[in-house]
Amino acid sequence: MSPDRPAAVVVLAAGEGTRMKSSIPKVLHQVGGRSLVHHAVLAAQALDPEHLVVVVGHGRDEVTAHLAAVAPGVPTAVQDQQHGTGHAVLCALETLPRLSGTVVVTYGDVPLLTADTLRDLVDEHRVHGDAVTVLTAVPADPTGYGRVLRDAEGAVTRIVEQKDATEDELAVREVNSGVYAFAADALRAGLGRLDTDNAQGELYLTDVVEHARTAGGRVGAVAVTDTWQVEGVNDRVQLAALHGELNRRTVQRWMRAGTTVVDPATTWIDADVVLEPDTLLEPSTILRGRTTVARGASVGPECQLVDTVVGEGATVTRTTSYGAEIGPEATVGPYTYLRPGTRLGRGAKAGGFVEMKQADVGDGAKVPHLSYVGDATIGAGANIGAGTIFANYDGLEKKHSTVGEHSFVGSDSVIVGGVHVADGAYVAAGSTITSDVRPGELAVARGRQRGVAGWVARRRAGTRSAAAAERAVADTQASIDERSGG
Ligand code: UD1
Ligand code: CA
């Protein structure tokens, strides 16, 4: 075991979050495509602690189920009633064996706190042999936070809560972030001495600081200058602010890694997105979930791509995509909707006002305009004319169709679910295809055109149409007369 490895990290996440005015637990709200508690767990896991435990209370079934999905194997400790942060840590320790070494306590609602900051805290804690090391900050407005009190020599003596502080103490601008590294024995001893003799009638974890000091331990402090890192989410205004700041950081990280972002202010990139160098993001682009964009590709303006793979050199404009795989050099958009199970091959095209779902479009195949392709395989080099619909649903079930390689489907055709148009076949414009088309065949499935001469003159006499027709006939007659030298 590495000596730098904390014995445990405890993530407090039992609080109600009343000010969110939400039916879902506060720590399940998201920033950057991850829940608040998932951010906290990832930072904690980066320390590689021997034990990691999340204290849950309000909405604990939902929080526990969520953790099982995003961070399987991370145990929870239940705090039935929220008797304070000290009580929450007691609940966590009850689920763990007797610890020795460093115990880190952090919050489930502080999403921007990085693993590096936690590591600095643990390092300082070790170097100085502290009983407690407090992560502190000097925010623009300290209201609401516990204040960090120091003696004449500058050593931390105790932490006083806003509600318990005197005028003088409230004037202190250095605050407690709520994140600490404790020596396990000092933590246990301090927790054992907590009482509820305070304004909120709670067991304050912060009181462990004073107890440790009275017991002769050293209390250290690490001040973070980046105050965003210790900001918690209490309401949706803070949620949006932290989401915005996280996004600014994510966008900057990718710009430094070689992505051109034309308008960082309207570009939103989730934490799990991966961009290769020499990618281009045009304004109003939202990349969510596990989206990846390969070298040379450009996305935007106005795209929302969720869990979408964009291949090398592809171009995607004004597109909404969920779970699609866009091949290298493919072009998508504008006003295109790609749904799960869509795969576009190399150089394939999904053009304007095209929707696709469970569609496998071969290399170089093109669906340029106004089409719906659902449950279909389109072979390499095929061309699907404007307005073609794959009618995949008969009211009972979805049926899969295929169009073979280098086939040509004329505009405004309907490919009814379940048919197979072979390689090198043609479908005449306006056809409704209900049976298979053999290789090299032209399928025509539409009414034959006939002309009823003089119909407009008879049935629409006196209209502008009738007059236009009359003029056209006269003009034609005049040019015939001219050519025949009449
Ligand atoms: C706490 C600190 C305060 C610090 C501030 C930083 C105490 C007594 N005060 O105050 O010094 O400046 O955090 O944000 O610790 N929680 C539980 N169970 C409980 C109570 C809280 O799990 O019984 C969790 C909450 O879900 C939350 C965190 O602990 O994630 C902090 O709780 P909160 O009530 O917000 O503490 P503050 O009063 O803000
Ligand atoms: Ca708080």
- Going by pLDDT thresholds of 50, 70 and 90, the confidence category of residue 297 is very high
Give yes or no for residue 165 having a pLDDT over 70. yes
**Predicted local confidence at residue 2, as pLDDT:** 56
**Predicted local confidence at residue 377, as pLDDT:** 98
Give yes or no for residue 1 having a pLDDT over 50. no
Tens-digit pLDDT profile for residues 441-485: 999 999 999 999 999 999 999 999 999 999 999 999 999 999 987
- Going by pLDDT thresholds of 50, 70 and 90, the confidence category of residue 4 is confident
Give yes or no for residue 13 having a pLDDT over 60. yes
The DSSP 8-state label assigned to residue 11 in this structure reads E
Residue range 130-146: average pLDDT? 97
DSSP string, 149-190: EE-TTS-EEEEE-GGG--HHHHT---EEEEEEEEEHHHHHHH
Answer yes or no: 369 catalytic. Answer: yes
pTM value is 0.94
Q: Classify residue 435 as left (phi > 0), alpha (psi -120 to 50) or beta.
A: beta
Tell me how far apart the alpha carbons of residues 486 and 484 are, in angstroms, rounded to a whole number. Answer: 6
Residue range 337-343: average pLDDT? 98
Residue range 4-17: average pLDDT? 94
* Rg of the chain in Å (alpha carbons): 33
Name the residues around ion ligand 2, CB cutoff 5 A.
232
Q: Is the distance from the beta carbon of residue 83 to the nearest atom of ligand 1 less than 6 Å?
A: yes
Phi first, then psi: give them for residue 224, nearest 5 degrees: -90, 135
Q: Is the distance from the beta carbon of residue 206 to the nearest atom of ligand 1 less than 6 Å?
A: yes
Q: Which of 83, 211, 243, 369 is catalytic?
A: 369
Residue range 120-145: average pLDDT? 97
Which ligand has an atom closest to residue 178 CA? 1
Percent of the chain with pLDDT over 90: 98
DSSP string, 224-261: ES-GGGGPPP-SHHHHHHHHHHHHHHHHHHHHHTTEEE
Q: Could you identify the atom of ligand 1 that is nearest to the CA of residue 82?
A: 23
Tell me how far apart the alpha carbons of residues 170 and 193 are, in angstroms, rounded to a whole number. Answer: 25
**Predicted local confidence at residue 485, as pLDDT:** 79
Give yes or no for residue 109 having a pLDDT over 90. yes
**Predicted local confidence at residue 321, as pLDDT:** 99
**Residue pointed to by tokens 């045009």:** 282
Q: Of the candidates 99, 1, 98, 7, which has an alpha carbon nearest to the alpha carbon of residue 44? A: 7
Tens-digit pLDDT profile for residues 379-397: 999 999 999 999 999 999 9
Mean pLDDT of the chain: 97
**Predicted local confidence at residue 486, as pLDDT:** 58
Give yes or no for residue 340 having a pLDDT over 50. yes
